[in-house]
Structure 1
Amino acid sequence: MSVEENAVPVRGAPCWMHLMVSDLRGAEAFYASVLGWDFGRSTLGEGYSTALVDGRPVAGIGVRTPGWDQAAVWTPYFAVDDADLTAARVRERMATVAVGPLRKGRGRAALASDRDGAVFGFWEGPTPAWAVGEGSAPPRLELLTRDVFEAAIFYGEVFSWPGAAGGIEVVYEDERVVVRVSGRPVALLYGGAVERDPDPRIRPRWVVHFDVDDTERAAACAVDAGGTATPAVPGPGAPGPGYVIRDPEGGLFTVSPRVGR
């Protein structure tokens, strides 16, 4: 899953994220241009690269399995003790386990979707020294869904929020559900009005936010590299105006001004 699998993640917390694409080299070139990433080899083989900032892991990009018609989606993975038990919890709650659990390197992974269709994964095993809001990891991870309370109950039951080891806390504030680990926000859940969006490509989904020194430059580089960039309206907690970007294969993410971390 990473260049160095050397950490024991907080159970129930986001522990990694990746994007599966059809053209790995093209994706590497795009994200190197837009976000300034370097890429290193991974323990998961030649078809999987780890994005790096100053030598530290940020995210993974891999090649989709041939014949598997899956959209390019940035997917968060949550740490679990038992992937089989977690898969059973997902199915018991009328959601979908699409792939796995499968052995991957030194761990086991599965890909699932919640009852509203938002894609997520879960991982059993060691991970990079990676945590949302710290170091090279993305500063924010958000779920945009129709019913925030239903979603919070679903993920809370699947990943044992709250009460999981590591001090996971779930609170409702500023019209959103905030998931914290040791007081640090690691996931934000927003609800309402998604089904009324005029863009049919917008559906319940997890959205990853990356910070950059220059959002205008990142947006221009995205367009030059074959993607799209649309000004984003800052939400609660956002450091300032940014852009919603789609890469050439449709992977969606946002960029915001970098703040000191």
Structure 2
Amino acid sequence: MSDFLHDNDFERFRNLIYDESGIHFSTTNRSILESRLKERLKRSGLDSIDDYFQLIRRNEEELKILLDSVTTNLTRFFRNTAHFQTFEHFVIPDLLEYKRARGDRKLRIWSAGCSTGEEPYTIAMILREILPADFSFEIVASDISLKSVMIGKEGYYSDNRMNGVPPGYLAKYFTRMEGGYQVSDEIKQHIRFDYHNLKNDSGLRNLDIVFCRNVLIYFDEAAQKAVVNRFWDTLAGYAYLYIGHSESLFGMGTSFEFVKTDWACVYRKKV
């Protein structure tokens, strides 16, 4: 047992974080929560862990900061190439055929858990390359980390964050800046960044694709199912869901159809 975070303290912080976000801390990753709490306690100038617990109960902004600090914002451009190959060669052609037959010429996409924005920018660059001239698109990019959302909205990335961006894309969609690159307005115009907690309904509807990769792993089974059911509600009658390659909907009893392509696996809503 830690001298800093006693078992009863761990339980009440873990329960509060779960209730507010769906993020589940097991005993094996207790040390991560403890280190984040130590940092917040120091920055808040408080003397005890109980004082900090009372603070986040009454101060919504401090609660958001804590939730931000316990998430892992690991991402990069074109992360998991197979997913984007599936996107380019299977998902988009399939959706274009479906939507064209119904006179709909707009793709609506949500990057849920977008971290610092590399994922939605990757999606936007691919679509600028492959979409026919008579189609348009819009992307909503959201995360529980307000700090990450602001980085994404700014669209500036240091040199060491640019690994994986094809040279052609780099030349076409970025401007060289001191120490890094700035995403072009041509790409930024398609994306709206927003703070969102997946515990809540986003209010989005009739989406064609939801990307939520490597986020469900932070939730327990009940929270995972609740989030996936909300994704179902946000999607149009024929649409796609991307989750992380190590994540699965198996055993959840959802109505999503498992689709195996030549590149990667995705889930499809078909009603």
Same fold by TM (over 0.5)?
A: no
Instruction: Specify which structure has the higher proportion of helix.
Output: 2
TM bin, normalised by shorter chain, reads under 0.3
Radius of gyration: which is bigger?
A: 2
TM-score normalised over the length of structure 1? 0.26
Instruction: Specify which structure has the higher proportion of strand.
Output: 1
